[in-house]
Amino acid sequence: MSSVRLLVVGGGNMGGALVRGLLAAGWAPDALAVAETDAGRRRALEALVPGVAVGAAPVAADGAVVAVKPQVAEPACRALANAAVPRWLSIMAGVPLARLEAWAGPAVAVVRAMPNTPALVGAGITAVAPGTRAGEAELAWAAEVLGAVGEVVRVTEEDLDAVTAVSGSGPAYVFLLAEAMAEAGEAAGLEPELARRLARSTVAGAGRLLAGPEADPRALRAQVTSPGGTTEAAVGAFEEGGLRALVATAVQAAAARSRALANEGP
Ligand SMILES: NC(=O)c1ccc[n+]([C@@H]2O[C@H](COP(=O)([O-])OP(=O)(O)OC[C@H]3O[C@@H](n4cnc5c(N)ncnc54)[C@H](OP(=O)(O)O)[C@@H]3O)[C@@H](O)[C@H]2O)c1
């Protein structure tokens, strides 16, 4: 056992959010460490998360989260393999478990995860998939770590392309809807600033309604759709225009791109 419980490799957006989430969840600062190659980012992190050891290189720890960009996966993982860290949790998009396990070596258990950006505000959802040497204990560990920034679900690696296409890229689909609503409001005669504010606040508020534990989008939609009313007119136009088929096409495109990226390699 090392004195550092968790090393986060890459203190950027996701790595930094994870450290803040873990501290908020009650982890002691001295149980955490960050390896970050960018000196400016290191200084910013030191100010943001006092008490957490921030250095340029990996240190020994009970486990590590790999949160660097996929393009630098190999050097970051090779450096990590030189530190004594028995379990890795990678959040890098498109880097397969087989490649991670090859870099890690036979003594390391690897879990691969796909988070999404609402993790930055503690409202993420992350799917985790076990590598060949990861069992129940490693999955529980991964869920504990990622649970600090939102919900966690378990999948197998073959599902990760579809997960990426639904929840990984999904926040952008909702932002696109907010953009389109603002543009439509402007076209309907509203001041641009007002249209943007109405659209943004509506999407954010609807998201909060959906965040309830038993929330069901279909039931929530039914609640605001009275027969012969305005919402029904709009929903009818969406259905006739093929919104569902379009969303399916978009999700398939994202999943296909995720598969292709994994084959291209970082
Ligand atoms: N954002 C999302 O929605 C999302 C969703 C799912 C998965 N992910 C994954 O999350 C990962 C992190 O994304 P991010 O947006 O947090 O990236 P980011 O902000 O660029 O953070 C990565 C940080 O790691 C540093 N770094 C580079 N090489 C390193 C090394 N060898 N050792 C230690 N630190 C190193 C980078 O420094 P430099 O800038 O100098 O390179 C940067 O500060 C990515 O792999 C991405 O695929 C993101």
CATH number at residue 126: 3.40.50.720
pTM over 0.85: yes
> What are the distances in angstroms from CA 117 to CA 30, 40, 50, 83, 169?
26, 22, 24, 29, 9
Q: What is the DSSP letter of 150?
A: E
Please tell me the predicted confidence (pLDDT) of residue 2.
Answer: 66
With H, G, I as helix, E, B as strand and everything else as coil, classify residue 106.
coil
Reported as a single tens digit per residue, the pLDDT across 119-170 is 999 999 999 999 999 999 999 999 999 999 999 999 999 999 999 999 999 9
H or E segment and range at residue 144: helix 136-146
Do 64 and 40 form a contact (C-beta atoms < 8 A)? no
Domain co-membership, 149 together with 28? yes
Which residue's CA is minimally distant from atom 27 of ligand 1? Answer: 68
Q: What is the distance in A from the centroid of ligand 1 to the CA of 13?
A: 7
pLDDT band for position 184 (cuts 50, 70, 90): very high
pLDDT band per the 50, 70, 90 thresholds, residue 3: confident
The answer to whether residue 266 sits within a structural domain is no
Say if residue 133 is in the same domain as residue 197: no
Q: 106 with 187, same domain?
A: no
Beta bridge partners of 34: 8, 54
79 and 138 both lie in a single domain: yes
114 close to 126: Cβ distance less than 8 angstroms? yes
The number of distinct structural domains making up the chain is: 2
CB distance 75 to 37 below 8 Å:
no
Q: Is residue 119 part of a domain?
A: yes
Structure tokens at 91: 């959040």
Q: What integer pLDDT is reported at residue 263 of this predicted model?
A: 82
Q: What is the pLDDT of residues 27-67, one digit of tens each?
A: 999 999 999 999 999 999 999 999 999 999 999 999 999 99
Q: Cβ distance 91 to 9 under 8 Å? A: no
3-state secondary structure of 112: strand
Same domain, 141 and 188: no
- CB contact at 8 A, 5 and 11: no
Q: What is the DSSP letter of 241?
A: T
In the listed set 109, 133, 157, which residue is the last one of a domain according to the structure?
A: 157
pLDDT band at 190 (very low <50, low <70, confident <90, very high): very high
For residue 165, being part of any structural domain is answered with no
Q: Domain check: are 66 and 152 in the same one?
A: yes
* HSE-up (13 A, CA, CB side) for residue 2: 20
Print the domain residue range for 181. 170-261
75 CA distance to ligand 1 middle (Å): 13
In a domain, 163, yes or no: no
Residues at CB less than 6 angstroms from ligand 1: 9-15, 35-38, 41, 67-70, 72, 75-76, 79, 91-93, 114-117, 168
- Contact in structure between 127 and 154 (CB atoms under 8 Å): yes
Amino acid, res. 260: A
Tell me: pLDDT of 259 over 80: yes
Instruction: For ligand 1, pick from 37, 89, 99, 174 the residue to mutate: most ligand atoms within 8 Å of CB.
Output: 37
Kindly tell me if the per-residue pLDDT of 1 is higher than 60. no
Same structural domain, 245 and 140 = no
Please count the other Cβ atoms lying within 10 Å of the Cβ belonging to residue 72. 13
Are 18 and 146 within one domain? yes
Whether residue 57 sits in one domain with residue 142: yes
Note whether residue 162 is domain-resident. Answer: no
Domain end (from 97, 132, 157): 157
Distance, CA of 170 to CA of 168 (rounded, Å): 6
Residue type, 79: A
The residues that bridge with 117 in the sheet, in sequence order, are none
Pair (43, 146) in one structural domain: yes
Is residue 164 a part of any domain in this protein? no
Q: Is residue 143 in some structural domain?
A: yes
Per-residue pLDDT averaged across 232-261, rounded? 96
Give the end of a domain, one of 95, 126, 157.
Answer: 157
Same domain, 152 and 174: no
> 233: burial class by Cβ within 10 Å (0-12, 13-18, 19+)?
exposed
Would 30 be classed as within a structural domain? Answer: yes
Q: pLDDT > 70: what percent of the chain?
A: 98
Question: Is residue 164 within 8 Å of residue 82, measured between CB atoms?
Answer: no
Q: How far apart are CA 58 and CA 61, in angstroms?
A: 9
Residue 261: pLDDT band (50, 70, 90) is confident
**Same domain (yes/no): 148, 252:** no
